[in-house]
Amino acid sequence: MAEREDRLPFLQLIPNLVTISGMCLGLTSIRFTMTGKFETAVILIVLSAVIDGMDGLLARRLRATSEFGAELDSLSDFLCFGVAPALLVYQFALGETNSLGWVFVLAFAGAGCLRLARFNVMRSEPDSMRHFTGVPAPAGAGLCLMPVFITLSGIADARQAPIMVAIWVGIVGLLMISRIKTISPKAMRIPKGLTIFLFMAMVVMMGMIFTRFWLLMVICGCIYVALLVPPIFREKGRLF
C-alpha cells in the first residue's frame, strides 16, 4: 500500500512537464539573445507564452491542479516573461545607454517578480478569477518587446531612440504592478452577434502569422494598450 502511495499517475505530471518545457524555451531565448539572434529569441518567448496558457488548461482538464504546479508556473513565468524579455530588449536596443538602460531593465524584471508574487497571494480570492490586478506577466513581456516588434516589422528602428525604449520598458513595469483591473480570459464573454467577426479575425491572424508576423505582434500590442486605457482612466489617482 505504501508503494502505491509513492507513485503518481503520469497524467498528473503532464501539466508540470509542459511548464518545464516553457521554462526551457525562456532560458533558450536568453541564449539566443546573447548570441545576437534576436528573431529566434523573440519567437521562443512567444512560444513560451502559448505554453503558459496551455499548462493551466491541461491541469484543470486533467484535474491535476496543485500548489506545487502553481508555484512552478510562477517561477517559470518570472524567467520567461520577466528576465528573458528584459535582457532581449537591453541587448537589442539599450546597450548603448549603458547604466541607464540597465536601470530600467532591472526595474522591469523587479516589477515582474512583484507582479507574480502578488498573483500568488491573491490567487485564492474570488475576484482573481474575474480580473487580473495589473498587467499579467505574459502581456507585460509582449508590451516590453514592442520596440523589437516595431523594428523587425520595418515600421521604425527603435534602436535609434534607446532613451525612449528605456522609458517605455519602465512604463510597462509600472503597469504590471499597478492596481488597474484587466479582465481575465476565464471571465471573458463574447456576444453571439460578434462570433462571426471573431472567426474572421482568427483567419486574418493565422494568415499574418505566416506572412507578416512582426506586424501582427505590433497590432496585437496596440490593441492591448487601447484596452488598458479605460481601466487606467477609471482608476485615476489610485493606480498604485
Between 87 and 9, whose confidence is greater?
87
User: How distant is the alpha carbon of residue 229 from its chain centre?
Assistant: 19
Long-range own/partner contacts, residues 198-207 (CB < 8 A, 24 or more apart): none
pLDDT digits (tens, 9 = 90+) for 15-25: 888 899 999 99
* Residue carrying the nine cell digits 512567444: 46
More confident residue, 153 or 126: 153
Read off the pLDDT band of 2 (50, 70, 90).
very low
Q: In the prediction, which pLDDT does 1 show?
A: 42
Instruction: Domains for the chain: give ranges and CATH numbers.
Output: 2-235 (1.20.120.1760)
Q: Is 9 helix (H, G, I), strand (E, B) or coil?
A: coil
pLDDT of residue 6: 59
Q: Which of 39-43, 149-153, 184-188, 213-217 has the lowest mean pLDDT?
A: 184-188
pLDDT of residue 189: 66
Please write the tens of the pLDDT for every residue from 177-209. Answer: 988 877 666 556 666 667 788 788 888 888 888
- Is the model's pLDDT at 74 over the cut of 70? yes
Rounded average pLDDT over 138-162: 94
Provide the CA 83 distance to its chain's centre, in angstroms.
11
Distance CA 115, CA 178 (A): 9
Q: Are 162 and 94 in contact (CB under 8 A)?
A: yes
Calculate what percentage of the chain has a pLDDT beyond 70: 82
Question: Cell 537589442 maps to which residue?
Answer: 92
As a whole number of angstroms, the distance between CA 164 and CA 31 comes to 26
pLDDT averaged over every residue in the chain: 85
Contact in structure between 25 and 80 (CB atoms under 8 Å): yes
| Per-residue pLDDT at 113 | 92
CA distance 152 to 196: 31
Report if pTM > 0.75.
yes
pLDDT > 80? residue 4? no
| pLDDT one-digit tens code per residue, 24-48 | 999 999 999 999 999 999 999 999 9
